[in-house]
Amino acid sequence: MSSVESTKPYLLRALYEWCADQGFTPYISVQVDAHTLVPRQFVRDGQIVLNLGTEAVQNLHMGNDLITCQARFGGAAQSLSIPVGNVSAIYARENGQGMAFEVGDLPAEPAAATEADAPETPEPPPTDTPPRPHLTRVK
């Protein structure tokens, strides 16, 4: 079944749409590596949290393989590119509700509810402290 597309990009789009419909701000947590094009100055412990809200990014495309958009950091426009496989969580900034995913070469483990999967900071642009996300982990 190696040719079967992952459900992950479908779930990411679904939760993004849910956030938008609720008036919530969609955040994604990303495991940064050589394949992620993100502002390195906001990376902490190999992770970055990005605000994908319409007020924060332009030209957002959430494809089956890549999430791409443009955003401004410190006044400078930058193109972002994130492989779907690097996304470790998507959640609403306002209440932390969302979903976490296994990323990379981590050992397989049963899916479990977790509050400790996504870092709280940094998020561009920083505004105030969001609640800790409470996420359902999906392999």
Cα dihedral: 48, 87, 53, 111 (round 10): -110
Which residue number, 78 or 136, has a Cβ lying nearer to its own copies?
136
Q: Do residues 29 and 99 touch, judged by C-beta distance below 8 A?
A: no
Q: Which of 68, 78, 81, 97 binds its own copies (CB under 8 A)?
A: 97
Our CB check for its own copies shows the closer of 94 and 120 to be 94
Q: How far is the CB of 76 from its own copies (least distance, A)?
A: 34
Q: How far is the CB of 2 from its own copies (least distance, A)?
A: 12
Q: Tabulate helix, strand, coil % of the chain (nearest 5).
A: 15, 40, 45
Report d(CA 19, CA 10) in Å as an integer: 14
Any contact of residue 5 with its own copies (CB under 8 A)? yes
Judged by CB under 8 A, which stretch of 34-42, 51-59, 78-86, 95-103 contacts its own copies?
95-103
Return the range that interacts with its own copies (CB under 8 A); candidates 12-20, 49-57, 79-87, 116-124. Answer: 12-20
Is residue 11 part of the contact set for its own copies (CB under 8 A)? yes
Which of 34, 107, 110, 129 lies at the binding interface for its own copies (CB under 8 A)?
Answer: 110
The least distance separating its own copies from the CB of residue 11, rounded to whole angstroms, comes to 5
Regarding 42 and contact with its own copies (CB under 8 A), the answer is: no
- For the beta carbon of residue 113, count every other beta carbon within 10 angstroms: 10
Measured in Å, how far apart are the chain's first and last C-alpha atoms?
A: 16
Q: Phi-psi bin for 136: left (phi > 0), alpha (psi -120 to 50), beta?
A: beta
